[in-house]
Every structure is written in C-alpha cells, then in structure tokens.
Chain A
C-alpha cells in the first residue's frame, strides 16, 4: 500500500478548474484568425444591440435634397436613392441579420437537439422515422428549402427566421445523433446506467454535456448560414419588408443604381461577407480549441 498514501500536491479545486478554462481561452487567443473572427463578430453583435446609439441618422428618414450622395464626412458610406444614410441603414440592417442568425439557430437547436438525442439513443423505429425525415429535408439545398418555406409562410422577418430555423434542423439532428451514437457506447455512459441512472440522467447529465463541443461548432456554422439566408430572403422580398433596413433589402435596391452609385451595393455586400467570415473563423478556432484530441491539454 505505498501509493495509497501518496497523492498529488494539493491545489484547491477552484483554481484547477479556472486553469482549465483559462488554458482554453489562451489557446483561442493564440489562434489569430479565430481572434479576428471573434472581434468582428462581437462588433456586429454590439452594433445590432446598440443600433440607436451608434447610427448617425434615422435609417428610414428620406432626404430628397441629398440623393445618391457619394461617401463624404457627412455620410461616411453615402446615401441611397431616397437620400437615406447608408451607414445607419447598415447598422440597423445588421440588427436583422443578427436577429435571424441567432434566433434561427436557437430554434433549430431547440427542436433538433432533442430529436437527435432520441434518434441516437433509442435507435430502432425512433431512429428510422427521425432519420428518414432528416434525409428528406437534406435532399433540398439549404437555401432552396428556406426560400420555399418562406414563400409558404409569407414575407416577414419573423417568418424568414422560422423558415431558416427549420431549414437548419436536419443538420443539427445529424450532428446530435452522431454524437449520441458515439457516446452511447462509451464506458462512462455505461457507468451511469450501472449507477442506477434512468434515460433522463444518461441523456442530459452525460451524453448532452459531452456533445457540447460538436454542438458549439455546429452553431458557429449555422449562424453565418442564417445570415446569408436572411440576406437572400430579403433580397427576394421574402424577408424584411422595405422601408425597414436589412442587408438583403439594401442589395436588392442597389441593383438599379450599380453604375451611378456602386457604393450602394459594395458596402452592404462587404458587411455580409465580414459577418459571415467572422463567425466561420470563430467556429474553426473553437473547433480546434474544444477538440481534446488536437488540443494542448
């Protein structure tokens, strides 16, 4: 019994836990691309939240004496065909983007995660039904599905959000189901059963927490897809209705003025690219950091 009394040098648990989380944050900070993505994403989220404080003008206020103005000190990104300030419209427009991006992904997770857990854990008939439904939905490209659903639901920001959220459900089910299938056969899940845990304990205390890394990554892939989806739906007139601002609505309006006022298309386009890229980079970085196999632990 020599090692029975030998233990590690003591470190209070709280500091140990902090060290683990701190290590991950540091790893994320070392990843330059992920850091850039995180900062840009944070700027967009802040702009969306604080739009009324940031925007220099009312985004819906026309100024007919100042139509199609080039970028200037008064209007940093110029004005559109009704003389509305572009910068203010982009700030308010990113509000719609962020709202759709976050709400649609939350919606997809709220429905997709439980279904994926059930399909993966119980197998048999449950799995067959859920998986066939998923396959059917995945047969349509994401944007086509979103456009179709939005067309059925009718044009509005809420309906666009619902349509995009539903279109993302199958991907969420797939990921959750795959993780559940993998974790179901891991020893510590077996141990939970031997402990006397019921299905609820096994699913929500052991399988779900251990699937979070994969789910977080899926979320950061889903958000940019939803942002593009919102822009597309609004561009087609199925999302945000003008005069309310949205990046897609702005692009749509800019079509007629590509030659005289190209900045009308360039700036909203850049905003979409920046927001999408930011979340993608952040997602890539998170995946590297959260994967214990590739991690620095």
Chain B
C-alpha cells in the first residue's frame, strides 16, 4: 500500500532551476498507534501514504474519528508517528530530535481547527504573528513590525489589529491571524486542519477564499484536512479519502467528483448537499448504517464492509490493497475492476 505517487508538475513555475525538486511532503506508510488504557492498540492511523508536490493542494477527507487530524499532527510532529516516515522537502523528519527539527520548522506550519484556543490569550496579535519570525531570525527590530503589518494586510486585517488581544476579535478574524502566523516565514507546506469547521457558516467562505488566494499567490503546498466536501472541491488539486485510519481512494479532484469509485466515497459524495433545491430533492442518497467501527478493533477484511451496502463474502475476509488505476487514481476495493469499472452503491 506504499505505492509512491508520481509527483505532479508544479502548477506554477516557482522561479527556481530546472532541477527536479523533492516533493514538499512525502508520507510513507505512516502509522500512529496508541496504547489503549484497557490493553490493546488504537490504530488511529494505519499505513497512510500521501505525496504533495510543490504548490499542490491535497485534500484529506474523512468523517470524525477517521484519523485525518492525527495525520496532520504527525506531519508537523505535534504527535509522534509510531511507524512509517515523513519527508519534508526531501528531509526525513520522522525521527529528528525536537532540537534538530526546530530550524527546519520555518518550512512548514499548521493552521489549527479552533482559532479560539490556538492563539495565546496573553499575547497581542502582533506578538503572535511575530513569534515565528523572531524564533527563526527572519527579521529584527522595526522590520518585524513592518512584516507583521504586511501579513495583517494580506489576510484582510488592519495594522492596528497588531495591538489587540485575541479575545477582542471575532472567530473569523482570529482564524485569519492563525493563517498569518502560519505564513509568516513563507513556508513551503501548510497543513490546514479543518480551518473552517469551528467558524460560523457566514465567514467560512471568506476564510476559504483567503486561503485559496494566498495559496495561488504564494504557491505553498497544502495538506487540507476537512470533512467539508464543498471546501475541498473548491481548493484541492487532488483528494485522498480516509476511512478508519487508512486511505481508501485517492484521485484528482475533478475525476473523484465526476466518478467516485469506492463505495465509501460514493456515499460521502451523495451525502453532501447540492445548492440546487430541485436537484437536491430528487437525487438519490446513499445512507450508511451504523457507526464508524472502533479503531481499537477494526473489522477483518475490508474495514468498510460492516457499513458497505455492496459487501460480499470476499470483503469480509480479504484485505483489499490500495491499487493504482488508470488516470493517476488509487482505490482499495475488491469490487472495482482493474480498468476502473466501479460498483454503484446507490443501486
């Protein structure tokens, strides 16, 4: 299941030489197992491989408890992987000590889910945004302030906001601060861990737009973790669908939305509302029954078979591998043919 992805060409030329550059992020067979209190192992992440090229946006989609946030935390080493490797810009950061990793941290950052807990309440906005700049000695003295004001402008806030405290700002404004902090050292990789799900619906769109604009202007690679399919369709070049700690399908965004192969992806897409009420009312929905099984004791065979409307005897016993399909897609389902013919979970 560790088939290395071919790295897609950068979307925009980043002005550097013709040397093939390493992907900004390469995750190989990443595992994060937790020891459960009652004995046993929680397999939160169980063999995930994702590659993100320069300037590429990859969406990581899954329901709560699928382990998608844990992947993000392992990438930025807020959580220690128990297996597999994480390469950032070609450097293996999986086992670097915290001290050796520190100077490399200017190349990647994380936008947290909840902006009300990810900004230090005792600091001013200016201090919060300036911290990475100071720690990596990117600027000093007056230049720091200038840089902070520049960043505030880029996320749609005013220079005066630098002297405020986080609790004086709205949720959307706080998330903009979090984005400004993540971009303050001009990183090559940004991990966005559900950056809009803690926000009011009314400001979600503006924060998504901001991220998309900044990504286009600065060309950073992005691992966009979310359960919001509309958000990834808009932002991501490629989408990986995660179920119970594993990737079940990976494909370029347009292809995935046009023709989802895995029954789980099909169910996920059919559950997302369509903005056209006529179509929304008439369309077929695949309703999954039951809860996400416990990662403490994942089902044998295909992990999805307990909820899959199409599951066969083979699915209950044999573990499907993540196979390459034509068109740069990957899927792990026994029912998908090697030529890409997919079953229809709605049927």
Contacts and interface: CB of A to CB of B under 8 A. Distances in A.
- Tell me whether chain B's interface is mostly helix, strand or loop, or mixed: helix
Interface of B: 76, 78, 98-99, 102-103, 105-106, 109-110, 112, 114, 117-122, 124, 131-132, 135-136, 156-158, 160-165, 167-170, 172-173, 178, 181, 203, 206, 209-210, 213
Contacts of B117: 186-188
Given A17-B163, A186-B117, A193 B78 contact: yes
Interface residues of A, number: 34
A8 B161 CA distance: 9
Nearest to A3: B206
B181 A195 contact: yes
A7 B161 contact: yes
B205 to A, nearest CB: 9
Contact of B131 (A8, A190, A197): A197
A14 B168 CA distance: 13
B123 to A, nearest CB: 8
Interface string A1-20: 11111011011111011001
B30 to A, nearest CB: 18
Contact of B210 (A4, A187, A292): A4
A12 B163 contact: yes
A196 B106 contact: yes
Interface in A249-297: 292, 297
Contacts of A198: 98-99, 102
A187 B118 CA distance: 4
Given A196-B135, A206-B120, A1 B156 contact: yes
Contacts of A205: 131
Nearest to B207: A3
Which one of A16, A191, A197 has the highest number of Cβ atoms from chain B below 10 Å of its Cβ?
A191
B120 A1 contact: no
Contacts of A186: 117
A192 B127 CA distance: 12
A65 interface: no
A209 interface: yes
Given A12-B163, A191-B119, 11 more contacts: A4-B210, A7-B161, A8-B173, A12-B160, A13-B164, A188-B118, A191-B120, A193-B98, A196-B105, A209-B120, A209-B122
